[in-house]
Structure 1
Amino acid sequence: MKAETHPNYFPKASVKCACGNTMTLGSTSEKIEVEICSSCHPFYTGNEKVLDAAGRVEKFRARSAFAKDSADKRAGTSAKRASKKKAK
């Protein structure tokens, strides 16, 4: 091996998950933080995490209804302006 071309290897690097689980393994980084690990991943645990998909759909529908209402109001306003312009 050439000297000073390879990264430093830490045989006791610690990996910390967001769920609180810690593991010790070898890595080129001394400390690693991950969001999900085999202790909390639904594929490995068999538990299913419910996502708030319904809330997102309802939120989208509310936004689209608001946009439609505001578009209708703007159409009414432009019609009023056009009629005033004709009256002049």
Structure 2
Amino acid sequence: MKKEIHPDNYRPVVFKDMSNEEIFISRSTVNAKETIEIDGVTYPLVKLEITSSSHPFYTGKQKLVDTAGRVDKFMSRYGNRNKNK
């Protein structure tokens, strides 16, 4: 391995999945602004929107995200076009 090209600040970091509140500890060099205490030890905290514990590909569960009724709006505009003919 070449010297002085790899970061030397590897440390345990807590990653938190915000969609299901699951946490896991891994070693990383990521900069974190927040900290969390687990079993009396303080770790840097990195919040993630999605991880393998909540991603539909890994969990096998698909979610239909309907923001502001877009599916209903589409169905009311275009869903009944074939019924009138």
1:16 correspondence with 2:30: no
1:2-21 Cα shifts (integer Å, max 9, x gaps): 4xx946221x1110111111
Question: What residue identity is the alignment partner of 1:26?
Answer: R
Query: Normalization by structure 1: what TM-score?
Result: 0.52
Q: Where does structure 1 lack aligned partners over 5 or more consecutive residues?
A: 63-88
Secondary structure (helix, strand or coil) at the match of 2:69 reads helix
1:53 to partner: Cα distance:
6.5
Equivalent position of 1:37 in the other structure: 51
Aligned residues: 58
1:12-63 Cα shifts (integer Å, max 9, x gaps): 111011111111111113321101111111110011101217922518x88x
C-alpha distance in 2 between matches for 1:33 and 1:46 = 23
C-alpha distance in 2 between matches for 1:25 and 1:43 = 22
CA RMSD of aligned residues (A): 2.9
- State the structure with more CA Rg: 1
C-alpha distance in 2 between matches for 1:6 and 1:44 = 31
Higher relative contact order (CA 8 A, sep 6+): 2
After the TM superposition, which segments of 4 or more aligned residues of structure 1 sit over 4 Å from their partners? Answer: none
Mapping for residues 1-88 of structure 1, pairs under 5 Å: 1-2=3-4, 6=7, 8-10=9-11, 12-18=12-18, 19-29=20-30, 30-52=44-66, 55-56=69-70, 58=73
